[in-house]
Structure 1
Amino acid sequence: MRKPVSLLLIVTLLASVAVFLSACQGQTPPAAEKEAEGKPLTIVTSFYPMYIATINITKDVPGVKVINMTKPVTGCLHDYQFTPEDLKTLSEAQIFVINGAGMEAFMDKVVSQLPELKIVDASKDIPLITGDGEEGDNPHLWVSISNAIQQEKNIGMQLATLDPDHADQYSANATTYVGKLEELRAKMHQALDGVEKRDIITFHEAFPYFASEFNLNITAVIEREPGSEPSAAELSDTIQIIKKSGINALFTEPQYSARAAETIANETGAKVFILDPVVSGPMELDAYLNIMERNMKTLEEALK
């Protein structure tokens, strides 16, 4: 489960929002007025995969500035702590692009205090995988290329609605990038559909959508919450699964320590590979495409 934001921090941030709104009430014009004033339309994204998706859609659109709220090395937002700097960033934006599906739920109270801020929800109409017990829906939609395609379309359509003067450009950019994603998806299916080994063990719950898309079976998860070391019993259970199943590959993530996976590998002889959930990386247009292609090559090697 995600760690809750402290009550004191929430109160402090909401108080700051109230002061900001009081000072700026009636001074936040819509997108068209921003352009008329010669000021950029500022779009803020919640974290790295939403930033990469959005800069592809806004490429070469005049008068639009895209800012990523969190640092590009943050990773998933499971334990992210909202900061006063984030508040300032959001307060200066007109549009906030989120993954949705509960990934940014820790921000609900703050965002509700910014009524002029328009929300673009990339998870619209995407079926969610329900977690076990109190885990809730799995929010790691973008790790599936098919979901990333739908998220790109969602962002493009919603931006076109909010900024109709540039609707054609958003639509054209979305179509171009979706074409690249579809080409990569076909390439990955060609590479992975024929692999004999289908059972994998992953680092945390980032890959169910990816596994579903490529017909892989996640038999165990080393750390259900990244950064929380598995107990001795959990390690023992995973070791037994590997020994019984003959699985010879473990997949860690570059954003987190591989210590637990290495312990399991030492006990079983399995090899440790890196599978990237695309939650950090270079702030470049083709970053998602490049990272997913590396994942494809890693899986080809690990599952052959």
Structure 2
Amino acid sequence: MKAKVLRITTILVLCLLIFTGCSNNTATNTEDEKDFTIVTSFYPMYIFTVNVVKDIQNVKVENMTEPQTGCLHDYQLVPADLKTLEQADAFVINGAGMESFMEKVMEQRKDLNIIEASKGIELIKDENGEENAHVWVGISGAIKEVSNIADGLAALDPSNAEAYKKNAEEYIKLLEAQSEKMHKELAAFKNKDIVTFHEAFPYFAKEFGLNIVSVVEREPGTEPSAGELAELIDTIKKTNCKVLFAEPQYSQKAAESIAKQTGAKVYLLDPVVTGEKDASADSYIKAMDENLKVLVEAFQQNQ
């Protein structure tokens, strides 16, 4: 009888050990499940992508450049950037020529999955026929880019496709509401002539009916010559434009100098190209809401 009890006890202990071992293996497999890593090229792409991947497990988003980098027209890749891209399952870029370094990226990572957020968007061209890449600054462009990012991630990571698209739809509704709010408040103003300091605002201006009288610096940091500055001041005086928009990312000295000579007033308009390192998912909408407040203040004083 004792021998029989001993045999049963031994079998139960063995079963318990086997079951525990299986449970531990399952837990280990779950913990070791590989993250789907998304790298974004710069700040606005990071904000859009963070909204698309919201609350999805095992999906990680990392921004390649520092969030204060600004536009990437002349950005030079550094070794740390290429190291970041080594771990990427997908690389989200604005495209339209914004990331001038893409040829080098493709040389280093021929198999890298690229999601071009501006794909299929009709680009605005300047008087020289050069395409403008600042699509995200207009909210309509931002909406299309968010949709493109979601579609691209869904194709690369089918197991989370539904979640990507659901998150994108929710974020797009917020963007649409912000756009509607801005249209409603800006519609009351007839005179919407402005001068900007960078070619960042054509999409924004087109969307909200702003008239860009002139652009001071075609590229950030490239100050106009004395002749160009004199022509600009003459244009501002002739059009009687009193609203001059500088950007928070750059020095306002040149803007203040022009303002003194023309009687215009300097305001800050944010193209949402830079931000905080740990920026919240609603950063783009907050920036656009602040832009609305600035525009309303400027136009109220200059009607």
TM-score, structure 1 as length reference = 0.86
Distance 2:187 2:228 in 1: 31
The residue aligned with 2:11 is none
CA distance in 2, matches of 1:257, 1:202: 13
Residue 22 of structure 2 corresponds to: none
Alignment match, 1:266: 260
From 284, 289, 293, the equivalent of 2:289 is 293
Residue aligned with 1:220, SS: strand
Q: Which moved more, 1:103-112 or 1:229-238?
A: 103-112
Match of 1:51 in 2: 46
Tell me the equivalent position of 2:7. none
> Pick from 57, 71, 78: which aligns with 1:76?
71
CA shift for structure 1 position 107: 2.2
Measured in 1, the distance between the counterparts of 2:30 and 2:165 equals 19
User: Which residue type is aligned with residue 286 of structure 1?
Assistant: D
Structure having the higher Rg: 2
Measure the CA separation in 1 of the matches of 2:200 and 2:41: 17
Tell me, which stretches of 5 or more residues in structure 2 are unaligned? 1-28
Tell which deviates more after alignment, 157-166 or 74-83.
74-83
Contact residue 35 and residue 63 of structure 1 kept, 8 A = no
Counterpart of 1:216, as a letter, is L
Instruction: Mark the CA change 1:35 to 1:264 in structure 2 (over 3 Å): closer, same or farther.
Output: farther
Find the aligned partners of 1:35 and 1:158 in 2 and give their Cα distance: 26
Deviation beyond 6 Å, 4+ runs, structure 1: none
Which deviates further from its counterpart, 159-168 or 238-247?
Answer: 238-247
Query: What is residue 168 of structure 1 aligned with on the other side?
Result: 162
Distance between the aligned counterparts of 1:248 and 1:131, measured in 2? Answer: 23
What are the superposed Cα offsets for residues 135-182 of structure 1, whole Å, 9 maximum, x if unpaired?
621000000000100111110111011100001110110010000000
Return the offset for 1:36.
9.2
Q: 2:212 matched to which residue of 1? A: 218
Give the match for residue 97 of structure 2.
Answer: 102
State the shift of 1:199 in Å: 1.0
Q: Identity of counterpart residues, as a percentage?
A: 56
For 1:55 and 1:300, the matched residues in 2 are separated by 30
What SS is found at the alignment partner of 2:76?
A: coil
Number of residues of Structure 1 aligned to a counterpart in Structure 2 = 270
Q: Which residue of 1 aligns with 2:20?
A: none
Unaligned regions of 5+ residues in structure 1, if any? Answer: 1-33
The corresponding residue for 1:249 is 243
- Identify the residue that residue 193 of structure 2 maps to in structure 1: 199
Q: Distance in 2 between matches of 1:242 and 1:132?
A: 19
Q: CA RMSD in A?
A: 1.5
Secondary structure of the structure 1 residue equivalent to 2:206 = helix
Give the one of 138, 155, 180 matched to 2:132: 138
TM-score, normalised relative to structure 2: 0.86
The answer to whether the 8 A contact 1:254-1:276 is kept is yes
Q: 51, 57, 60: which is aligned to 2:55?
A: 60
Cα separation, 1, equivalents of 2:260 and 2:158:
57
